[in-house]
Amino acid sequence: MKQLGSQTWQYTTRPVILGSSAVVGPEEGEGPLTSDFDFIYDSLKMGEKTWEKAERALFEKASKLALINASLEQEQLEFFVGGDLMNQIISSSFAARQLGVPYLGVFGACSTSMESLAIASMIVDSGGGKYALAGTSSHNCTVEKQFRYPTEYGSQKPPTAQYTVTGSGCAVIGRDDGTSAGPHVVMATMGRIMDLGLKDPFNMGAAMAPAAADTITAHFRDTALSPGYYDLIVTGDLASVGLPIAKDLLAKEGIPMEQTEFNDCGLLIYDLDKQKYVIAGGSGCGCSATVTYGHILKRMKKGELKRVLVVATGALLSPLSYQQGETIPCVAHAVALEMGGDEA
């Protein structure tokens, strides 16, 4: 691994995503990416007695499907890097119990998708393991209950609110034997905490936008690339409120984002016109994970996209920190994915 600038890692062996999975709930299945998902549950309960057990089932299914899609036996897997939004990341820990391999629990709120991918890729790139699984999950009913109100209350939400994605995305990372067409994990830019003083848990997009802009700025400073290098730059879940703020902030930094397609996973996963209940768009660990591991990787394999930068954003609040009047610390972690051989 090579350090570029102060925040970016370049993976010298270009680890490969051998297989990935995206498993979602019924509402995500009604969205525009429906054909990109490996499995769509027809009920939020997923045959379980509690929302938390449902989320665990979702995560366990996604981790199994990723192994199948990677043509890897469970016994071959060596490390699992995972996390989720639940207190003490229980969904991830229970999935780890089922996988039976060394487990590194991580937490970056909704940035967990790219934090886990960056660490799993570091393990493989640095020679620490041949195969590592990165994954995360979120469930609309577990997350809303824990951070805001139980969905059963039917409480009204402001127009800045986002809708937690019910979904789990996992990816199996392996070494490149020199023959792989990709997708390769080529770089990661790890984010700093940005906290501009926002306190409203119903306006995460605005809180997280500065973190996304800071990490994107750091990525282009560290790599000396410009946005046009990428066919797509996609943020984690800024949704309709946060993405324009991130665009404004990047314009002020002089980053020419008009060179590329710049979108947001929270806007891609739902049809905001038809699915009015999602309000400003999707959020949750499962949002960037299922969009990246379902939709984006499929587009890359089809040849539609060669280089993509995924910038997953996370709001690191807890209900308690919010109740004690604290502002929301936010972070964004970016991972660069590329198809094809190494032309560097």
Positions touching its own copies (CB under 8 A) are 1-3, 6-7, 9, 50, 52-53, 78-79, 83, 85-90, 93-94, 96-97, 100-109, 115, 119, 122-123, 125-130, 190-193, 195, 316-321, 324, 326, 329, 331
DSSP state of 283: E
Name the residue among 295, 254, 47, 54 with its Cα closest to residue 151: 54
- Shortest distance, position 84 Cβ to its own copies, whole Å: 10
- Shortest distance, position 75 Cβ to its own copies, whole Å: 10
Our measurement of the distance from residue 100's CA atom to the centroid of its chain's CA atoms, rounded to an integer in Å, reads: 23
DSSP-based three-state secondary structure for 282:
strand
Q: State the distance between the two ends of the chain, measured CA to CA, in whole angstroms.
A: 15
Nearest CB to its own copies, comparing residues 326 and 342: 326
Nearest CB to its own copies, comparing residues 83 and 183: 83
- Shortest distance, position 129 Cβ to its own copies, whole Å: 6
Nearest CB to its own copies, comparing residues 9 and 270: 9
Nearest CB to its own copies, comparing residues 193 and 251: 193
Distance CA 245, CA 238 (A): 9
Cis peptide before 183 (omega within 30 of 0): yes
Reported as half-sphere exposure (CB side, CA atoms, 13 A), residue 70 has a value of: 30
Integer CA distances (angstroms), 147 to 27, 67, 118, 200, 205, in order? 20, 31, 26, 11, 15
- Shortest distance, position 45 Cβ to its own copies, whole Å: 14
- Shortest distance, position 313 Cβ to its own copies, whole Å: 13
Nearest CB to its own copies, comparing residues 6 and 71: 6
Nearest CB to its own copies, comparing residues 192 and 252: 192
Nearest CB to its own copies, comparing residues 95 and 337: 95
Residue with tokens 């054909």: 35
Residue-wise burial string across 21-49, b where 16 or more C-beta atoms lie within 10 A, e elsewhere: bbbbbebbbebebeebbbebbeebebeee
- Shortest distance, position 275 Cβ to its own copies, whole Å: 27
Give long-range contacts, CB 8 A cutoff, 24+ apart: 48-55. Answer: 51/139, 51/141, 51/142, 51/145, 52/86, 52/90, 52/91, 52/139, 52/142, 54/139, 54/141, 54/142, 55/84, 55/86, 55/91, 55/137, 55/138, 55/139, 55/142, 55/168
- Shortest distance, position 261 Cβ to its own copies, whole Å: 26
Nearest CB to its own copies, comparing residues 10 and 263: 10
- Shortest distance, position 235 Cβ to its own copies, whole Å: 17
